[in-house]
Amino acid sequence: MADIALGTALAAIGAGVAIGFAGLGSGLGQGMAAAGSVGAVAEDNDMFARGIIFSALPETQAIYGFLVAILLLVFSGLLGGGKGLPTEAGIVAIGVGAAIGFAGLGSGMGQGMAAASSVGAIVEDNDMFARGIIFSALPETQAIYGFLIAILLMVFGGILA
């Protein structure tokens, strides 16, 4: 087995939490939006493009989680062969993963519900498209907060230094 510093191993946990929970939220949200969209397309073929847009919205949380996880893996030395992280920085990395992971979980689920509801509103009334996008975009903010804090923790916690 490779010789891995404790800090690096903790960062690996952080990376797992980041993509694991963000991906969970994103997947659940996307499932909700896609289920609503399929129903809409079954009744109205013209809803396909708009259904895709709303189903794609909850993808962003998984992208944030994936990006943070990659950064943690690279800067902890797990990928790229650096010298590894000190234990204190490794603990910070768990906080990094938790920040984007849990924010992404809540944000993804919320966005999925809003997107599914918006698809229903649009297929009932075409004029609801712009308003549906605005309401569906609102739960994105929680993921952005989580992503921002994750980056700040990496910068000032000695990981991206």
Partner 1 sequence: MDIYPYLNPSSRVRARKGRLFDEKQISEIVETNNIEEVENYLRGIPEYADVLDEYPLDKALDVERANTYDFVARLAPKEIKDPFVVMSKKSDIDNIKSLLTAKEVGLSADETKDLLIPSGSLYEDLESLVDAENVTDIVTSLDGTEYAAALEDALPQYEDTKMILPLESALDKYYLGKLLRSTDVPADENRQILYSYVGTQVDVANLKLIIRAKEDGLDYDAISPYILEEGYQLREWKLKDLMESPDVTNVVSGLEGTKYAEALTDAMPVYNETGSVAVFEKALDTYTSEYSKSLASKKPLGIGPIIGYLSQKENEIKNLKIIARAKREADFPNSKIMEMLI
Q: Please report, as ranges, the residues that interact with partner 1 according to CB under 8 A.
A: 31-32, 35-40, 42-44, 47, 113, 116-117, 119-121, 123-125
Nearest distance from C-beta of residue 64 to partner 1, angstroms = 23
Of the candidates 75, 91, 88, 141, which has an alpha carbon nearest to the alpha carbon of residue 114? 141
User: Which lies closer to partner 1 via its Cβ, residue 32 or residue 62?
Assistant: 32
Least distance from partner 1 to the Cβ atom of residue 123, Å: 4
- For partner 1, the closer CB: 54 or 66: 54
Nearest CA-CA partner of 122 in 26, 28, 30, 48: 48
Contacts within 8 Å (CB) and 24+ apart, 88-91 = 88/7, 88/158, 89/7, 89/11, 89/157, 89/158, 89/159, 90/5, 90/6, 90/7, 90/8, 90/9, 90/10, 90/11, 90/14, 91/7, 91/10
CB of 26 to partner 1, least distance (A): 16
The residue (of 39 and 158) whose beta carbon lies closer to partner 1 is 39
Phi, psi of 139 (to 5 degrees): -70, -5
Closest CB to partner 1 among residues 19, 116:
116
Smallest gap, in angstroms, from Cβ of residue 52 to partner 1? 14
